Amino acid sequence: MTLEKLVNMFIVLFVVVDPFGVTPMFGALTGGWDDTHRRRMAFKGTLLATAILLIFACIGAWLLHTLGISLPAFKIAGGILLFLIAIDMVFARQSGGRSTTGREEAEARFKEDISVFPLAFPLIAGPGALTTILLMVGEGHGRLLYFVSVIAVLLLVLAITLLCLLAAGRIMKILGETGSNVMDRLFGVILAALAVQFVVDGVKAGFFS
């Protein structure tokens, strides 16, 4: 496992989980709540998202095998999904692929506990994050060191996400709505290129190997 590969995994997961994109949504959903309750939701939601992603990392390959889905096919499908998410990020629009829909957000505003829905899923452990973690684990072909490296990078990204949620008020004052959208656009361009690479690798492995 090279340093370059670790950095690449970190960038991909950071862009897909998108802590700076989740933070303003979390701030909006918890507006008016006291700091203690907001911190509790941040910790609980992040822990639940971590559990979801770790479980998916462990059983994802088995699930694909059970369903008869090859890794190249999943790479192509995953790349397309991530590309669609990247388009949403570049054009600063929200979709069910990386956030809540309008109706889901309206429903969440009336809930005292948003840790499971929508914070853990789909804001943190959304379809893009689940797809990405499965693709990364699959690329390791069962190598223990590779799997441990993926999990370590994932936990680092989730730790950064938790810190962002805990500092949601300060981050929003610094970035503002415009700054948050600019960050999303920059990350979206990077994610689009990575998504295309997933598709290219899938096509090569599925049709030319």
Q: Is the peptide bond before 118 cis (omega within 30 degrees of 0)?
A: yes
The C-alpha atoms of residue 124 and residue 118 are separated, in whole angstroms, by 9
Q: What is the mean pLDDT of the chain?
A: 85
Q: What is the pTM of this model?
A: 0.81
Listed in sequence order, the residues at least 6 apart from 136 whose beta carbon sits closer than 8 Å to its beta carbon are 9, 12, 13, 150
Structural contact between residues 82 and 112, judged by C-beta atoms closer than 8 angstroms? no
Structural contact between residues 126 and 52, judged by C-beta atoms closer than 8 angstroms? no
Tell me, what amino acid is at 33? W
Domain membership of residue 120 as a residue range: 3-207
Structural contact between residues 98 and 83, judged by C-beta atoms closer than 8 angstroms? no
The C-alpha atoms of residue 34 and residue 41 are separated, in whole angstroms, by 11
Structural contact between residues 209 and 111, judged by C-beta atoms closer than 8 angstroms? no
Tell me, what amino acid is at 69? I
- The token duo for 180 is 């948050």
> pLDDT digit string (tens) for 63-105?
888 989 888 888 898 889 888 888 888 887 665 555 556 665 5
How far is C-alpha 113 from the chain's CA centre?
21
- Rounded to an integer, the average pLDDT of 42-47 is 96
- The token duo for 209 is 């190997």
| Number of domain units in the chain | 1
Radius of gyration of the chain (CA): 17
The C-alpha atoms of residue 57 and residue 44 are separated, in whole angstroms, by 20
> pLDDT digit string (tens) for 109-132?
556 688 998 899 888 998 889 989
